Chain A
Amino acid sequence: KAGVTQTPRYLIKTRGQQVTLSCSPISGHRSVSWYQQTPGQGLQFLFEYFSETQRNKGNFPGRFSGRQFSNSRSEMNVSTLELGDSALYLCASSGEYEAFFGQGTRLTVV
């Protein structure tokens, strides 16, 4: 059974640019959640999608957005990047009983 796949693994962007991250969940999982983790900080919830609908949203500015496709794959987009957006972005795929994380995308904004 394939795990949760996040692409790309590493990304370097310049301030002001935008970026799109992708997450392919485990087959059969319809929920995908996104988290931001900065050095020394805990897991900060961004948003969750379930069956193509945003079900929950954390306290992040509108520059952070996401979507989910009919095959449950999800993307998150960050526009007008700031230095403070440098972080590890994790997605978690949830099924009927458990959730599993992808390897994460490490975004560096310079």
Chain B
Amino acid sequence: QKEVEQNSGPLSVPEGAIASLNCTYSDRGSQSFFWYRQYSGKSPELIMSIYSNGDKEDGRFTAQLNKASQYVSLLIRDSQPSDSATYLCAVYGGYQKVTFGIGTKLQVIP
């Protein structure tokens, strides 16, 4: 079983819609969770972090964490074409070990 699983996509949503990106992880001891955005040909950049159960909002982005079910999600409200990118889920398990999913490609259709 992969440690961090994401659907590779592509996930296509119309402009203005909500994009929902999901991620599951296997290590119940995982402590922190992150979302990275990667534009084509570029390096991934950290956009959200979440450490406790519930929702965390930052502008149009909301990260959701459910440790009991071992999943973390990222919601993008009012999706824009500029949000088209690959979104990587990452899980921190202690001892400076961060594990990444393969990423979900998001396409926002104008």
- A: residues with CB less than 8 A from B are 29-31, 33, 35, 42-45, 48, 50, 55-56, 88, 90, 92, 94-104
Would A50 and B32 be within 8 Å (CB), given that A101-B45, A102-B43 are in contact? no
Interface contact A97-B43, CB-CB below 8 Å: no
**Which secondary structure dominates where chain B touches chain A?**
strand
B61 at the interface (CB under 8 A from A): no
Interface contact A31-B8, CB-CB below 8 Å: no
In the assembled complex, the CB of B89 is this many whole angstroms from the nearest CB of chain A, namely 11
**Which secondary structure dominates where chain A touches chain B?**
strand
User: How many cross-chain pairs have Cβ atoms below 8 Å apart between A and B?
Assistant: 62
| Segment touching A, from B21-29, B75-83, B96-104 | B96-104
Cα separation A32 to B46 with both chains bound (whole Å): 16
Interface contact A95-B96, CB-CB below 8 Å: yes
The 8 A-B pairs of least Cβ separation, nearest first, read A42-B102, A99-B98, A31-B96, A94-B98, A101-B43, A94-B96, A42-B103, A101-B44
* B: interface residue count bin: 20 to 34
Interface contact A97-B32, CB-CB below 8 Å: yes
- B: residues with CB less than 8 A from A are 8, 32, 34, 36, 41, 43-46, 49, 86, 88, 90, 92, 95-98, 100-103
Cα separation A94 to B8 with both chains bound (whole Å): 24
Interface contact B98-A92, CB-CB below 8 Å: yes
